[in-house]
A = this chain, B = another copy of it.
Amino acid sequence: MGRRTGEPPISWLMKTALARPNLISLAAGFTDNPSLPVRETLAITREMLGDKDSGEAALQYGTTAGDAGLRRLSAELIRRQDQGAKDWRYSADRALITNGSQQLLYLLTECLCDPGDIVLVEDPTYFVYLGIAQSHGLNCRGVRMQPDGIDLEHLEEILVGLKRNGELRRLKMLYLVTYYQNPSGITSSLEKKRGALELLRRFEKHAGHRIYLLEDAAYRDLRFAGEGIPSALAVRKFADRVIYTSTFSKPFASGVRVGFGVLPEELLSVVLRLKGNHDFGSANFLQQIVARALISGHYDKHLLALRRTYRQKAEAMGAALDEHFPAEIQWAKPEGGLYFWARTPRSLTTGMQSRFFQAALAGGVLYVPGQLCYCDDPSRRKPNHEMRLSFGSASTERIVKGIERLGRVLRKHLN
């Protein structure tokens, strides 16, 4: 395991950003600093620790699955967002609490996959998940994206190919980041999720086992435009194949790492055993803070303010892109999350080794090269002409300045 686990390129990016304070980083996935809920968390901890009983409860060990109240609140949050019926799909018994949703992605991969197994991912996808997959010796295949989620025809083509090659028995799941995707900003429609679940189920009999849809809804709460879209759990017929993961870290406070998920029962029991070995339960103190934020309304109120902030920052970045980026660069405004995704003409490569990336760095601006967000898939070359631009942590002023700098470098390299 240790040998398979490479140094993630993103560490280099982060170190570079920290070492050069004049550099404007549009690379980091950090959240907006000034909008962190300092006063709210102070009020919550005061109340929680002001009482001896609740104070002691928060400072004592919890259980491996997590605080019963928070599990209930988490499952209920998903149900409300899905406008779903109060049935088994949103039962607190299926929920667990983890150290951010990242840990849950790790545990699920450990639980489901052996080295040599196959996981389907979006093209592009969340690059840290690619690190998890590589570390576990998995083979990933990329499914092309459309503006409303994966290309179902391409998914079917891949499944047919796997069946033909006898590799379907190695396929364990399809991993989708369904809301304001990191990195592309794309949101999956419910139709796409339904279509994916239907296809996976159709091929199960050839695989000889269940093939799950892992829905990573980490950015779901960070919606600042458009309609809310139900999760894959809303597709009731196939909901027993859906693994849903999300987090309170980004919508509330990234220093309070609390993730959650609802899982099919047969996976939950195994994931809990693994979590027992990892840490026998996430810090109770953080769980109690989040539970109190949800119950008191601090969470919802904070979220309203946060959405306003991100809407403004996204608008500022969009306006700057309009003004400073050459017309040859394609990009679309996301309806939530933290990222714009910009595409250059294929002649202009954006990878870490490219002249353009180096020129941007010299010009004082850092982005995440799109290439890092594509899995190693032997059936295609890795696209190398995209950039992830984050409006999460930089101030509006620095966002605009960063895009201006990047626009200047772009114009120089397009000619």
| A91-109 interface bits toward B, Cβ cutoff 8 Å, 1 = contact, 0 = none | 0000000011011001000
B38-A46 in contact (CB<8A):
no
Stretch at the interface among A156-164, A177-185, A223-231, A279-287: A279-287
Contact of B254 with A61 in the complex, beta carbons under 8 Å: yes
Given A38-B52, A49-B42, verify A62-B278 contact (CB < 8 Å). Answer: no
The answer on a CB contact under 8 Å between A274 and B1 is yes
Query: How many chain-A residues does the 8 Å CB contact rule pick out?
Result: 68
- A64 to B257: give the CA distance in the assembly, Å: 13
Query: Judging by beta carbons under 8 Å apart, are A59 and B46 in contact?
Result: no
The answer to whether the Cβ of A45 comes within 8 Å of any Cβ in the partner chain is yes
Chain A 5-29 per-residue mask, 1 if CB under 8 angstroms from chain B, else 0: 1111001001000000000000000
A352 at the interface (CB under 8 A from B): no
User: Are A42 and B55 interface neighbours, CB within 8 A?
Assistant: yes
Q: A60-B254, A135-B274 are in contact. Are A99 and B279 (CB under 8 A)?
A: yes
Copies of this protein in the assembly total 2
CB of A294 within 8 A of chain B? Answer: no
Report chain B residues within 8 Å CB of A280: 100, 102, 128
Residues of B within 8 A of A288 (CB): 255
Q: Are B255 and A58 touching (Cβ within 8 A)?
A: yes
A277 touches B42 (CB 8 A): no
A5 partner residues in chain B, CB cutoff 8 A: 270, 273-274, 277
Q: A11 to chain B: which residues have CB within 8 Å? A: 64, 276
Within the complex, what minimum Cβ distance (angstroms) separates A251 from chain B? Answer: 12
Is A329 part of the contact surface with B, judged by Cβ < 8 Å?
no
Determine if A60 and B31 form an interchain contact, defined as CB atoms under 8 angstroms apart: yes
Chain B residues near A14 (CB-CB < 8 A): 63
Q: Which residues of B contact A270 (CB under 8 A)?
A: 2, 5
Could you pull out 23 A-B pairs where Cβ atoms are within 8 angstroms? A5-B273, A5-B277, A30-B60, A37-B59, A38-B52, A42-B46, A42-B49, A45-B45, A57-B255, A59-B253, A59-B254, A59-B256, A60-B253, A99-B278, A102-B280, A103-B279, A131-B273, A131-B277, A253-B285, A256-B283, A256-B285, A278-B278, A285-B286
Binding site for B on A (CB under 8 A): 1-2, 5-8, 11, 14, 30-31, 33-34, 36-39, 41-42, 45-46, 49-50, 52, 55-64, 99-100, 102-103, 106, 110-114, 128, 131-132, 135, 253-257, 269-271, 273-274, 276-280, 282-286, 288
Given contacts A1-B113, A103-B279, A135-B273, 16 further A-B contacts (CB under 8 A): A2-B274, A30-B60, A31-B61, A41-B55, A45-B46, A59-B253, A59-B255, A99-B283, A100-B280, A102-B278, A128-B276, A128-B277, A135-B274, A255-B283, A257-B282, A285-B286
